[in-house]
Structure 1
Amino acid sequence: MNQLFAIIDVETTGGGIAGNRITEICITLLRGAEFIDKFTTLVNPEKPIPTHITALTGIDDVMVENAPKFYEIAEKIEEFTKDAIFVAHNVSFDYNVLRNEFKLLGYSYNRKKLCTVRLSRKLIPGMLSYSLGRLCSTINIPHFNRHRAEGDVDATVVLFQRLLSLDEDFSVFNSFLNPRSKQATLPPHLAAEQINELPNEAGIYLFKNQKHQVIYAGKAINIKKRVLSHFYDKKSKEYHLGQETHFIDYEVTGNELLALLLESEHIRKHYPKFNRAQKWPVSTYQIISYVNQRGIIQLALGKARVSQDSVSTFYNRTEATEKLEKICEDFKLCPRYCTLQSNVEVCSHYRIKNCDGICEGTETVEEYNAKVKAAIKSFQEEKPSFAIQGKGRTENEISFALVRDGQYKGFGYFDRSEAICDIQDYEPFLKLQNATYHTHAIIRSHLKKHGKKNVLHFNTPVEYN
């Protein structure tokens, strides 16, 4: 076989793809399985090398002080690897770092590439680990001077030669070199079978690391298509996500609404490393009621997670304050005893002027409390109970998201043959979930977009505004 292969390893300063500069590079050139030439050198990265990188590689600022800068060896690398297939253990890392170095000089660097991690998973299946050190140890390949470019390249060369010998008709290699093949874009630690098993249906997917910890949760109308789009994306975040992904789990939901709600629950539960949206907790504001020393029922705005005496809960302080002001005005309550004013004996609110005089003693406690109780009752009447029904996971199934007394309770599925007439009928099929600001926003957005379609109400109609 006359094909040229450039077996490459780079050591770097660490950091994101854009700021990762080379400190050492080694390239061994093979024609087929036969050694042709080798090039290796330290490289001055033109930036300090972090101490944790020095601890790993042994390369420090003094060692690279008089080494050539990348622009001084760029032409050599270009010529040395010309017409060769770029080969590395976890090739995306070395290839992207090298391409970025050329990009900084204003040049493009493009080569066909092969990953010995992915080739090993295919040709040497069943290994506990495919890291270079573990793999070499398991299959008895000498690996000296680890985490240095030449030491890692020497071990990768022997591994590559062994992989070539295991693929006599070159069919596996050709499948990996096919630009339309998923093998060319998949992360190094992810088995292609996991991608093949993904459904083309709506639901959620979970990227997990080597310890099966969830590092990213996503939702999709088409799970397989959305998962693959992560690996086609060249952004630094997506690259690092791919590097840490070893497993993918999924759950079909049947429709987008349930996918959004379930995604939100997984983000809340697992706090995944690569999710940004929905990770930060949103403050909950509640209008609460209590009886003061004069026996007057007071209303107040509190910031709390749970309150047994909560009259109503909001996820926005402005919205909660406006609501408190409105009921104060509508029911002729006192701004002072609705905690809209403090440190005053007699209320003098800038807008609410219709207090009947409880603060001045011209209204009895009994009369005032009756109005407060009427206001609280109005809150209860404003809390709707309804179910949003939708497409299930199969043709004979119906999905639902349930809201009771204004609060999201969870979701579930039932067979079309079930007789569902009242809210209690959903209970046997309900999977309880946590109500949060995000579930509130998801349901509110769905109602705004779709209106009353497939919404079954069980008491006061809900407002879509």
Structure 2
Amino acid sequence: MEDQLFAVIDVETTGGGINGNRLTEICIVLLRGSKVIDKFTSLINPDKEIPGHITALTGIDNALVADAPKFYEVAKKVEEFTRDAIFVAHNVNFDYNVLRNEFKDLGFEYTRKKLCTVRLSRKLIPGLFSYSLGKLCDSINIPISNRHRAEGDTDATVILFQRLLSLDDDYSVINSFLHARSRQATLPPHIDSDQINSLPESSGIYLFKDKKHKVIYAGKAKDIKKRVVSHFYDRMSKEYQLGQETYHIDYETTGSELVALLLEAECIRKYYPKFNRAQKRPGPVYQIVSYTNQLGVLQLALEKTNKRRESIGIFYSRALAQEKLEFLCREFKLCPKYCSLQSNVGECSHYSISCEGICSGKEEVEVYNGKVAAAIASITEESTTFVIREKGRNLEEEAFVLVKEGNYQGFGFIDTETQVTRPEDYEPFLKRQTATYHTHKILSNYMRKQGAPKVIFFENPSDSQIIQPVTKLSKNALIISTHGTLALEFLDN
């Protein structure tokens, strides 16, 4: 490696995300082995406004770069200067991606092997409080001047890299980082490869944590290791920033994808991670509500809302809510007009529902209201106690999800040899969770999509007798929500 060329590089940019960054300054120091042989530095006109906060950090403003060359004018020099050299930088993915994007805008592919002095430092100089360039240089007595300018930062990085070369006499660490199958070049600067290698290749959830161990992202995966690594190959600005702020990765295996989904929802509710967008707020739901009109008739109505209020039933689509209203009308001979199925009519007219005349004065209000009350009670009584059985984390166990009296209780894992005949038998193994809009939706989608899920129903909360396990569930079976709880309903074909 004594004859190997290294191009130590630092760039300053306009900011604005990895894809919106434009160069304002570049410095390249060329080394052969550990010896400096050349240097190139230049301001760059980014062809866009430089934000004030960037000027405050770097001292580079619009006036300073007004007469500087644009990147296409120095691109050939940069390409030739770094040709046959290994691209070295402190937090290399940032500088490398910015430079590669500049070449891409010109229609050229820029590819170099790369080394990160943050990752090398963590390996060769372990145990430091911080590996940011300024604090790292202070820790090991490397002079650094003209901070946050390309030449000043590059000069300090050169001294750091020379120090790292001296600590790696046989180049074993550097060679391992350059190995074609090594993840070192693609991993964020603060993640040790041992963390990645220890991740399981099975279903579960993973948590990205910052320097203070605060959860900043929660995700679920069928293959935890594969999914985690995929974040670091993504070139989106959000994924890049996530990588920059991640210092620790935790995980929990679940065996079951359903349990992983439920656990992910719980982690997002509990930690409210800054990089998660989905599931932070409940989406709109459709509610069946009841009220008494001016004639004293008890009416049912459908409303869309983002707020959970007391209601007869809660649904995740208008179609499901309307189907339920139509079912109640047919089952209890209610009036479509007074169930929001027809509007702006004096008397109802519905081909499939037999109204008994409340809208035309042929039926007593008290009698009709009694039927509406029975319909409302029928929904309340639909709350069901059941268990979903799924594959566990190994062959000796099963995962289960418990819904009791229509309320999601949580999940757990149980030995395949353990005998259970009542809902209470699952309690010692239960990891109790909070029921939310999102857990309701996850379970509703599961029951709707599964042709034959492993579900065990119990007759009612006080009954200790178990109903025979369901071996085949109609695809028209849905979970609906009543008063914020889950219930099983079979729709007509």
Q: TM-score scaled by structure 1?
A: 0.91
The 5 A counterparts of 1:268-307 are: 268-289=269-290, 297-302=298-303, 303=305, 305-307=307-309
Counterpart position of 1:159: 160
Query: Aligned partners of 1:417, 1:292: CA distance in 2, in Å?
Result: 57
Deviation digits for residues 299-350 of structure 1 (CA, Å, limit 9, x no counterpart): 3435364445x32221223422342243134312234544556798x65466
| Deviates further, 261-270 or 30-39 | 261-270
Counterpart position of 1:26: 27
**Aligned partner of 2:313: which letter?**
S
Counterpart position of 1:117: 118
Query: Aligned partners of 1:349, 1:124: CA distance in 2, in Å?
Result: 82
- Contact 1:5–1:32 under 8 Å retained in 2: yes
Structure 2 SS opposite 1:19: coil
Counterpart position of 1:218: 219
Counterpart position of 1:402: 402
Structure 2 SS opposite 1:198: coil
- Contact 2:411–2:433 under 8 Å retained in 1: yes
Aligned residues: 463
Counterpart position of 1:375: 375
Deviation digits for residues 55-91 of structure 1 (CA, Å, limit 9, x no counterpart): 1111011000000111111111112112211100000
CA change 1:74–1:106 in 2 (3 A) is: same
Q: Cα RMSD between the aligned structures?
A: 2.6
- Contact 1:334–1:347 under 8 Å retained in 2: no
Task: Give how far 1:134 is off.
Answer: 1.2
| Deviates further, 428-437 or 238-247 | 428-437
| Deviates further, 373-382 or 166-175 | 373-382
Deviation digits for residues 378-423 of structure 1 (CA, Å, limit 9, x no counterpart): 3245444321112222433221112334443321122334321122
- Contact 1:11–1:148 under 8 Å retained in 2: yes
The 5 A counterparts of 1:29-108 are: 29-108=30-109
Structure 2 SS opposite 1:447: helix
- Contact 1:335–1:352 under 8 Å retained in 2: no
Deviation digits for residues 267-303 of structure 1 (CA, Å, limit 9, x no counterpart): 3333433334434521233223456787754434353
| Deviates further, 90-99 or 253-262 | 253-262
**Aligned partner of 1:8: which letter?**
I
Query: Aligned partners of 1:457, 1:250: CA distance in 2, in Å?
Result: 32
Counterpart position of 1:182: 183
Query: Aligned partners of 2:281, 2:312: CA distance in 1, in Å?
Result: 25
Counterpart position of 2:431: 431
Query: Aligned partners of 1:222, 1:399: CA distance in 2, in Å?
Result: 17
Counterpart position of 1:232: 233
- Contact 2:450–2:475 under 8 Å retained in 1: no
Counterpart position of 2:7: 6
Counterpart position of 2:458: 458
Residue 431 of structure 2 is aligned to residue 420 of structure 1: no
Query: Aligned partners of 2:107, 2:147: CA distance in 1, in Å?
Result: 32
Task: Give how far 1:19 is off.
Answer: 2.4
Counterpart position of 2:151: 150
- Contact 1:217–1:266 under 8 Å retained in 2: yes
Structure 2 SS opposite 1:77: helix
Structure 2 SS opposite 1:136: helix
**Aligned partner of 2:454: which letter?**
N
- Contact 2:451–2:474 under 8 Å retained in 1: no
CA change 1:293–1:410 in 2 (3 A) is: farther
| Deviates further, 255-264 or 145-154 | 255-264
State the percentage of identical aligned residues.
65
Structure 1 residues not aligned, in runs of 5+:
none
Structure 2 SS opposite 1:53: helix
- Contact 1:123–1:166 under 8 Å retained in 2: yes
CA change 1:124–1:347 in 2 (3 A) is: farther
Task: Give how far 1:449 is off.
Answer: 4.4
CA change 1:291–1:433 in 2 (3 A) is: farther
Task: Give how far 1:133 is off.
Answer: 1.0
Query: Aligned partners of 1:100, 1:304: CA distance in 2, in Å?
Result: 42
**Aligned partner of 2:410: which letter?**
G
Counterpart position of 1:250: 251
Counterpart position of 1:206: 207
Task: Give how far 1:464 is off.
Answer: 2.7
Query: Aligned partners of 1:52, 1:153: CA distance in 2, in Å?
Result: 22
- Contact 1:341–1:347 under 8 Å retained in 2: no
Query: Aligned partners of 1:384, 1:456: CA distance in 2, in Å?
Result: 11
**Aligned partner of 2:455: which letter?**
V
CA change 1:297–1:27 in 2 (3 A) is: same
Task: Give how far 1:157 is off.
Answer: 0.9
**Aligned partner of 1:103: which letter?**
K
